[in-house]
Amino acid sequence: MALAAATLLSLGLGTATATEVSAAPAADVEIIDGYTRTVRESAGIAVECPAYQVLIGRSHSGDENGSTTYYCGFILIYGELVHVSPPTWSSAQRESNSFFAAAPHKALVGRVHSGDENGSTRYATASMTWQGRPVTLTSYRWTPGQRESSSHSRAGAGEVMTGRQHNGDENGQTFYQYARVSLG
């Protein structure tokens, strides 16, 4: 927490008091770019967002030996950092013709894949809280498909990644699910 707080303070972001929050008409959500990591897709390297971060994007270039980049981000509500729970990893599924959507109000925080399109993929999810209150997700949406071998997808303003679907090999279509951050 100290490192995340120091990072946010260096960006000029403080914390909001209960009085400041109650005066605001609606939740003010901001997502700031954080950790980014690129790995060889087939290597079986688990990529997990660091503390206080969730997945906000992914890109991939080439076949299973190509590079996959994961984009994580901090969520701020009224300028205060959202807490992200420890991750829960899914069971493995075959990458080709795979579908994964996080449970309601949970964001993706990690992924691991090994091998080619017949290899296994797992996802990590987490819940979020702000000042002890649950953070909820609304307005779920799926992106149009794009060819996996040249895919790039980032969350829209105020959104986090919540799911992914992939059909076939690297020439097949990949779809991403995003949802808008809100307070319950």
Tell me the pLDDT tens digit for each residue of 131-163: 999 999 999 999 999 999 999 999 999 999 999
By C-alpha distance, which of 120, 52, 37, 121 is closest to 85? Answer: 52
Entry pTM: 0.86
Q: How far is CA 165 from CA 52, 85, 98, 146, 160, in A?
A: 25, 24, 6, 11, 16
Cβ 137 vs Cβ 105: under 8 Å: yes
Q: What is the per-residue pLDDT across 36-45, written as a single tens digit (0 to 9) for each?
A: 999 999 999 9
Tell me 64's DSSP state. Answer: T
**Mean of the per-residue pLDDT values of the chain:** 90
Distance CA 123, CA 110 (A): 6
Q: What is the pLDDT of residue 26?
A: 58
Q: What is the dihedral of CA 2, 156, 167, 64, to 10 degrees?
A: -50
Residues 6+ apart with CB under 8 A from 133: 183, 184
Distance CA 39, CA 29 (A): 30
| Residue that is written with structure tokens 């929050």 in the block | 21
